[in-house]
Amino acid sequence: LKSDDVKPGSLVRVEVDGTAICLARTEGGEFRAVADRCTHEDYSLSDGSLWDDQVECPAHGSLFDLNTGDVTGLPAFEPTRVYPVTVEDGEVVLEL
């Protein structure tokens, strides 16, 4: 995946070795990656909204901090998993 293919302020779902990842690019151009499944119910966070460095679940509005995976808005209470993401030579590199 080329970093230029992901617009700042957007979320995309990517699958790596069968694991669904919600890849976020902040308005500032930084990449973040979390598991693409809300910890409340089975919805894709990549269908939600990006607010700075938080993602809002499309179903019931839970908020997750993309840096730590912590819940910052109910109804979810379990943190989500964060994956390291870097850009090398214009390619997005995810570490599972």
Q: Which residues bind ligand FES (CB under 6 A)?
A: 38, 40-41, 43, 57, 59-62, 75-76
CA distance 46 to 54: 12
Q: Beta partners for 17?
A: none
- Least distance to ligand FES from the beta carbon of 55, Å? 10
User: Left, alpha or beta for 94 (phi > 0: left; psi -120 to 50: alpha)?
Assistant: beta
- Least distance to ligand FES from the beta carbon of 43, Å? 4
Q: Which is nearer to ligand FES, 61 or 87 (CB)?
A: 61
- Least distance to ligand FES from the beta carbon of 8, Å? 24
**CB within 8 Å of 46: residues ≥ 6 apart:** 11, 12, 13, 22, 23, 36
Q: Which is nearer to ligand FES, 3 or 49 (CB)?
A: 49
